[in-house]
A = this chain, B = another copy of it.
């Protein structure tokens, strides 16, 4: 099972141009801070958030209650000139969960209904496989030498964009996984449990399609943050051992604070 929350700014398009178009740098600052706040709050509770389209964000929220969602929603309402609606969905795969969460939110009205504000809905499905959340942390081998110190800053963006565009689509089509660019040369996928050969196939095909060599750390856990942290430790193992896939075996030292 995986729990996904779809977050949507309420009636945001009209707000950006009322009474006059607002300064773009301020809108960028607003969107970025709102995202940072969601990261910090969902993160504190063991969740993960990705910026998506900035006005529509996707969070992985296994173990986070509706009431806790409500507190975060309220905090956004108190701190920002815009408010957010949230829809919590569950499914056997990330794809299923985001479909349910999205459909439930859309049922509440349009994202540009002036009346639909601060919706908080939760999906109530019971028959789900109880499985761990999987996180694959993909990273380019030697991005510094091959891209960052080599190409101009804009072409480097285009290069990374080819990679994540390709990866996002294949992971979704082939494995029901949702993938997100998280900066630098990193792409994080939230996945159902993946086999070794699946991970292998993914990075082989990326190499074929984009000529970029990826490495991947894979982790499983009860919460996205547990799985993600294990994925990161496994990615470090790749670096140490010079391999391109590491998974599960990592014995992750857990500090008391973690």
Contacts and interface: CB of A to CB of B under 8 A. Distances in A.
Contact of A168 (B29, B68, B158): B158
A12 B149 CA distance: 14
Contacts of A58: 153-154, 157
Given A98-B152, A183-B31, A79 B233 contact: no
A150 B229 CA distance: 34
Most chain B beta carbons < 10 A, residue from A31, A39, A253, A258 = A39
B257 A70 contact: yes
| CB-CB nearest 4 A-B residue pairs | A70-B257, A25-B43, A54-B183, A21-B232
Contacts of A52: 153-154, 157
Interface string A82-118: 0000000000000100110111011000111000000
A6 interface: yes
A194 interface: no
State the number of copies, please: 4
A214 interface: no
Nearest to A41: B44
6 contacts: A23-B229, A29-B39, A29-B40, A32-B36, A33-B33, A58-B157
Given A168-B158, A257-B74, A36 B29 contact: yes
A62 B72 CA distance: 20
Nearest to A102: B152
Most chain B beta carbons < 10 A, residue from A8, A71, A78, A80 = A78
A138 interface: no
A228 interface: yes
Interface of A: 6, 8, 12-13, 17, 20-33, 35-37, 39-45, 47-56, 58, 66-75, 78-81, 95, 98-99, 101-103, 105-106, 110-112, 120, 144-145, 148-154, 156-158, 160-161, 165, 168-169, 172, 178, 182-185, 188, 225, 228-229, 232-233, 235-236, 253, 255-258
A79 B156 contact: no
Contacts of A103: 152
Given A36-B32, A98-B152, A149-B106, A43 B67 contact: no
